[in-house]
Each structure stands twice: as C-alpha cells, then as structure tokens.
A and B are shown apart, each in its own frame.
Chain A
Amino acid sequence: MDINRCKKIYGEIKVSYLYLKQKFFQLFYSFFKSLIGKDVVVELKNDLSICGTLHSVDQYLNIKLTDINVTDAEKYPHMLSVKNCFVRGSVVRYVQLPADEVDTQLLQDAARREAHSQRQ
C-alpha cells in the first residue's frame, strides 16, 4: 500500500466526515470544498464558459478559479490577461465537473440526509 493510496483513502474519509458532520445545510458547499484543486468548467448565465482550477468556495457558492482560460470559442469576452478570477455564485449556471472525482454514492447518501434534516 503506497503513500498516494493512503493519502487518497484519508482524503475520502475526511470528505465523508465533512458530509456527515455538517450542522448547517451546506451540502454543496462541502461538495465543492472536496473538489478544490480540480479542474472545472464554470458556465455563467451570460453564456461565458471559464475553465480553471477550483481554488476556493464559500457558503454562497462564490467560486475562485486559478489559471483560467475561456473555453467554448473565444467569441465571448476573452480574458487573455486574466489568470485568476472570482465568480459570484448567483451568476453561475452550470459547473462541469470531472466525473471520476465525484463519489456518487456518497453524494446520494448526503442528499438523502440533507433533505431529511431540512424538513425538520
């Protein structure tokens, strides 16, 4: 069992703990925190698509991206000189995620729990 595998397992345990222990109803906040460091594509409501590395997220799902470039044809405002950006959560339409970084079972369990605790 090598060190990288150990780190991955530790990371997964930490993430499950984060999902389970949340006192506030912040399923997607925790979800995005677990994706920090991964490459994502953020599509905004003005049709701009930004590809970058997820640097940080907050409770409003505001997003900070680093090393960005504009995907989807640079016909939309090209931000050639912009390397990092902050995106207000409310202008996000989609965030495209790497499918293999997402643990769907964990997500579904957390969503069931979240919905149940929201109700009460």
Chain B
Amino acid sequence: MADEGDVGVVGNTTVAVEEPLDLIRLSLDERLYVKMRNERELRGRLHAYDQHLNMVLGEVEETVTSVEVDDETFEEVYKTTRRTIPMLFVRGDGVILVAPPMRGAPP
C-alpha cells in the first residue's frame, strides 16, 4: 500500500507517491500488462493515461481467451486469439487492472 513515505523518481525530480494513479505514472514508457473485461488482456508500452484509465499503448499484443465446451466429452477447451496493433487507444471503462508484465511472460 502506498503511503506518504513512499517516493518515486520521475525524470529528474523526486515525487511522493500518494495514490494508485501515481504508480501508473512510474510505468510511462514501460511495458505494461492490462487486464480488460470480456476475457481480454493487453501487453504494450504505455504512452499516455488519465484518471479514467483511458490509455494509449504502443506495440500492443491483445489476447482474447474463450472457452468452448466439447459436446461429447464436456471438457472445457480454452482457446486464445492474439493480434498485434502498432498503436492503440483503450477506453478506460473496459480496464480491470494494470500491472507490470508478469515474470515468464514475453517482454
């Protein structure tokens, strides 16, 4: 949990990290993992964001996960669809969470 004592460095200045949005500011121009509604995930470089979590991401890879139930065996089959987009604006109301890319995931 970020409290008044935490400090981050932005450019040449040291700024106190007060709220969660400040943590995102530290990730500007870094690769990011974004989980969205409808079983979608994005991995891209954060170029801009605002308080609604509208974002502009560059070099983005979108992963859509879908589940199909086999008619005979009734087992659940998870399928993922991927596509890459060079520059993408993402509307904030679809965003669930924002995080640094996970260990073991492609950069």
Q: B56 near A: Cβ within 8 Å? A: yes
- Asked if residues A111 and B28 are in contact (CB atoms below 8 Å), the reply is yes
Q: B87 near A: Cβ within 8 Å? A: yes
Cβ of B10 to closest chain A Cβ, rounded Å:
6
In the complex, besides A28-B54, A104-B47, A108-B47, 6 extra interface pairs with C-beta distance below 8 angstroms are A97-B88, A102-B58, A115-B25, A115-B50, A119-B18, A119-B21
Q: Choose among B28, B56, B88 the residue with the greatest number of A CB atoms under 10 Å from its CB.
A: B56
Cβ of A66 to closest chain B Cβ, rounded Å:
19
Q: A61 near B: Cβ within 8 Å? A: yes
| Bound-complex Cα distance A28 to B51 (A) | 11
Instruction: Point out residues on B near A: beta carbons under 8 Å.
Output: 10-11, 15, 18-19, 21-22, 24-25, 28-29, 47-51, 54, 56, 58, 85-91, 93-94
Looking across the interface, which residue of chain A has its beta carbon closest to that of B89?
A95
A interface, how many residues as a size bin?
Answer: 20 to 34
Instruction: List 20 interface pairs A-B (beta carbons < 8 Å), by A numbering.
Output: A45-B94, A61-B54, A90-B93, A92-B91, A95-B89, A98-B86, A102-B56, A102-B58, A104-B29, A104-B58, A107-B47, A107-B48, A108-B28, A108-B47, A108-B48, A115-B21, A115-B50, A118-B50, A119-B19, A119-B21
Residues of B within 8 A of A116 (CB): 15
Q: A6 near B: Cβ within 8 Å? A: no
- Asked if residues A118 and B21 are in contact (CB atoms below 8 Å), the reply is yes
Q: Choose among A28, A99, A102 the residue with the greatest number of B CB atoms under 10 Å from its CB.
A: A28
Instruction: Point out residues on A near B: beta carbons under 8 Å.
Output: 25, 27-28, 31-32, 45, 61, 89-90, 92-99, 102, 104, 107-108, 110-112, 114-116, 118-119
